[in-house]
Structure 1
Amino acid sequence: MAVIKVRNTKEVIEGHDNVLSFLEKQGVLYEHWDMSKLPEGLREKFDLNDQEKEEILSTFKEDIEELAGRRGYKTWDVITLSDATPNLDELLKKFENVHVHTEDEVRAIAAGHGIFIIKGDEQTGYFDVELEAGDVISVPEGNPHFFTLMEDRKVVAVRLFIETEGWVAHPYQEKDEVNQ
């Protein structure tokens, strides 16, 4: 289950209902998919070939298509990041800049962990959403955020997009405040 850490108050939010309620108030979609249907051999594998990525997509086909139908997503893929990923540190630098998108940024964590740092409403400020296998999040279009890995530096995620060219980030500059 996801855990939320509000940066300006140090509040920690845990438990499915509490996390769901907090994120709904911030306009962020949160769901949890059943990871028990993922084949055992893929649950902790972070260096995937194309066939294994397709197996993940096939395993979650119904979940993906249901979410895509509700939210208008047209394409999806699997991304994997770990110490086995070429140029991982350079990739993380790209992800770790606060940015926005012209569509939702959607991730369904299939294995490992990751953190979305999201700008909330004026009162909340930035908050971290620590995600684990089964967690599904959709950061709304235009909402400043960035993504990074947790200490284990391993994640496998299904990404869903509206635009067929996929992930396009646009830099975001804070107005008179520190973003981290």
Structure 2
Amino acid sequence: MTLLQVMRQDAPDEIVLRTRDTSRISALLRELGVEYGQWELHLNATADTTQEELLASYRPEVEALCKRDGLVLVDVASLHPESGEEWAERAAKARATFLEEHRHAEDEVRFFAHGTGCFYLHIADNVYAVVCEAGDLLSVPAGTLHWFDMGPQPDFAAIRFFKEEDGWVGDFTGDPIAQKFPRLDALLAGDR
């Protein structure tokens, strides 16, 4: 299930709020200008599901969102567990890159068709950790400071939406703030 955990930027161990209530998550994020919603899952995506199959399964939703928000480029970002040292190194490198605080010149819009990932939104004095799972749609407004954790064993497929071809390129702040906050695996372990 989706999770929102709010922490103070200067006290990462202090939990201001923790909830799995999607209505509450949606309302709280909306107040921040962040869109959160859910789409019905149309297929059980696996590591063998192609980008074409995934996009075809969600064609009506994708087309409606593109029309509504003026999005013109759509693709799929995915990582699935593989065996071997090469995969482990590739996964660790990908994880480390996005665990640095950055912003984008356009909205970062993602639909999770499979798996889990966490967006950390650094807004005002708080950090909002939004754990997204299959079925979740999140739109982070342009200019919002954030980072993303795909976990130690990345396993996800997300449809990405852009207005420009380089819309995914991040402007990294160099601030080490992301290193102070609990990672995806720690957030999920908090339920145990």
Give the structure-2-normalised TM-score.
0.80
Alignment match, 1:104: 107
Q: For 2:23, give the aligned amino acid.
A: D
Name the residue aligned to 2:159: 158
Shift of 1:26: 1.2
Q: Does 1:115 align with 2:95?
A: no
Structure having the higher strand fraction is 2
Q: Per-residue CA shift, 1:107-155, capped at 9, x if unaligned?
A: 1000110000111233xx1110001000000111000001112355211
- Matched residues in 1 for 2:37 and 2:135: separation? 8
> What stretches of structure 2 of length at least 5 have no aligned partner?
9-13, 181-192
Post-superposition CA distance 1:50-78 (Å, at most 9, x none): xx210110110111111111111111101
Structure 1 residue ranges (4+ consecutive) displaced by more than 3 angstroms after TM superposition: 177-180
2:96 is equivalent to residue 90 of structure 1: no
Partner of 1:133: 134
Instruction: Give, as a single letter, the amino acid of the residue that structure 1 aligns with 2:164.
Output: E
Unaligned runs of 5+ in 1: none
Distance 2:150 2:72 in 1: 26
The offset of 1:178, in angstroms, is 4.2
Counterparts of 1:68 and 1:172, CA distance in 2: 29
Q: Distance in 1 between matches of 2:149 and 2:18?
A: 19
Matching residue of 2:19: 13
Paired residues for 1:21-32 under 5 Å: 21-32=27-38
Amino acid corresponding to residue 3 of structure 1 in structure 2 = L
Q: Distance in 1 between matches of 2:21 and 2:153?
A: 22
Distance in structure 2 (CA, Å) of the matches to 1:173 and 1:150: 21
Going from structure 1 to structure 2, the CA distance change for 1:53 and 1:19 (only over 3 Å counts) comes to same
Output the aligned Cα RMSD.
Answer: 1.9
Q: TM-score, normalised by structure 1?
A: 0.85
